[in-house]
Amino acid sequence: MSTTILWTLVIITLLGLVLAVVLYFVALKFKVVEDPRIDEVEKVMPGANCGGCGFAGCRAFAEAAVKAPNLDNNYCPVGGNDVMAKVAAILGYEIQQKAPMVAVVRCNGTCEARPRINEYQGVQSCRVKAALYAGDTGCSFGCLGCGDCVEACQFGALSLDPVTGLPVVDEEKCTACGACAKACPKAIIELRAKGPRGMRMFVSCVNKDRGPAVKKACANACIGCGICAKTCTHEAIVFENNVAYIDYAKCKLCRECEAVCPTGAIHGVNYPKPLDVEGIKSRIAARKAAAAATPAEGAPSSQVTKENAHQGQPSAVAGGKEETNKEE
C-alpha cells in the first residue's frame, strides 16, 4: 500500500516536471516581445478611451502609434497638439500642428421655426425614433430632440435647450472626440475647425429638399437660393443636394454670406461685434458697382474697339499696341 502511494507521488512529480519544461519551451517559442514605448505613450495619453482617435482606447492608440512609420494618420483629438507633441518626442517623430476642432450642430429648426405636426410617444431615443419614422415635424432631416448626443458625450459638453429643443455645445468642454456625431442618426453634428479666436461660419441646416418644401417645413432652413455662393468672393461656399456648405479652409470670416442669407440659415459665432447687415450690404453693393465700371477681362477686342470708336478714343488691339480710329 505504501509502495503504491510512493510510486504515485513519484510519477506525478516527474509528470509535472516534464510538463513544466514543455510549457517553458513553448512560452519561449511563442513569446511576444512588446515594445516598452507602448507603455510610455499610454502614460501621456488623456485616458478618456473615447474612441475619437479611431481606436478602441488609449492603449490601442499607443500600440498603433508605435507600429506606424509616422503620426500622419494618428491623432488624439482629446489631448490635442500638446499630447501629440509628447507622443512624437517619445517615438522620435515629427508632427504637424492641427487646428483645434469643435462639434457644431447644423440644425436651426427651433420649436418656433419648425412646428410639430404629430406627437411621438415611445422610447426617448433619436436612433429608435429615426428607425420608426421621419420625425414629429415637417422636416425629415432635422434634430429629433431626444438627446442621444447628450448621452454619448463623456465630457458633459452637450445639453438640450428647453426653449429651442436643440442640443447646445459647450466649447470649453468639447474635446472633438466625435462621439456625438456618431450618435446622431440624422448626421446634423459636424466637427469643424474652431477658427481664429473661436470665430467661425457654418450653415445651420442639412435639409436636402427643394426650396418651397424646405420653407414650408422650417422657417430657418436653407432654401438653396444660391445668394451666399454668388456673394462669396473666396469660393468658400458650395452647393450639394440643394443645401449650401461652407468650406472652413477657404472661409475668410467676412460674414457677407451671413448678411445676405434670407432665412438666417448661416451662422457666425464668437465674433466680437454684432453683425452689421446694412454696412456689409453697402460694401457688397460698392464692390459690384466698381466691378461693373471696370471692363471685364478677356472681352473681345472688336467689342472694345467698337465702343472706343463711338467715343473717338484709342482702341486696344492684339499685341498690346494702340491705334487711333480713323474715319473713312
pLDDT for residue 4:
84
End position of a domain, from candidates 187, 217, 246: 187
Number of domains within the chain: 3
Range of the domain at 209: 195-292
Look at residue 9 in the predicted model and tell me its pLDDT.
87
Which pLDDT belongs to residue 320? 39
d(CA 197, CA 287): 28
Domain-embedded: residue 175 = yes
Q: Is residue 24 part of a domain?
A: no
167 found inside a domain = yes
Indicate if 168 and 242 belong to the same structural domain: no
CATH number for 60: 1.10.15.40
The H or E element that residue 238 is part of is strand 237-240
DSSP annotation of 295: P
> Both 200 and 287 in a single domain?
yes
In this structure, the answer to whether residues 127 and 154 fall within a common structural domain is yes
170 with 208, same domain: the answer is no
State residue 209 phi and psi, 5-degree precision: -75, 170
- Same domain for 86 and 148: no
Q: Are residues 120 and 147 in the same domain?
A: yes
The pLDDT value recorded for residue 296 is: 55
Instruction: Please tell me the pTM assigned to this model.
Output: 0.75
Residue 297's pLDDT is: 53
Is there a domain that residue 327 lies in? no
Query: Which CATH number belongs to the domain containing residue 253 in this structure?
Result: 3.30.70.20
- Tell me which residue has cell 428607425: 131
pLDDT score recorded for residue 304: 41
Q: Does 199 lie in the same domain as 174?
A: no
Which whole-number Å values give the CA distances from 42 to 77, 87, 176, in the listed order?
15, 9, 20
Q: What's the Cα-to-Cα distance from 176 to each of 53, 79, 146, 188, 208, rounded to whole Å?
A: 10, 10, 21, 15, 26
pLDDT of residue 15: 93
Residues 200 and 265 in one domain: yes
Q: How far is Cα 4 from Cα 262, in angstroms, rounded to an integer?
A: 99
| Residue 25 within a domain | no
Are residues 73 and 111 both part of a single domain?
A: no
Angle, vertex CA 95, rays to CA 94 and CA 101, nearest 5: 170
CA dist 328 and 317 (Å) reads 19
- Regions of the chain where pLDDT drops below 50: 299, 301-328
Establish if 3 belongs to a structural domain.
no
**Do 149 and 220 belong to one domain?**
no
Domain-terminating residue out of 26, 57, 91: 91
27 in any annotated domain: no
Q: Is residue 41 within 8 Å of residue 62, measured between CB atoms? A: yes
Amino acid occupying residue 325: N
**pLDDT for the residue numbered 33:** 75
94-to-85, 86, 126, 233 alpha-carbon distances in Å? 8, 10, 42, 36
User: Could you tell me which residues are beta bridge partners of residue 200?
Assistant: 269
User: What is the reported pLDDT for 313?
Assistant: 41
pLDDT value of residue 322: 38
Maximal CA-CA distance, the chain: 143
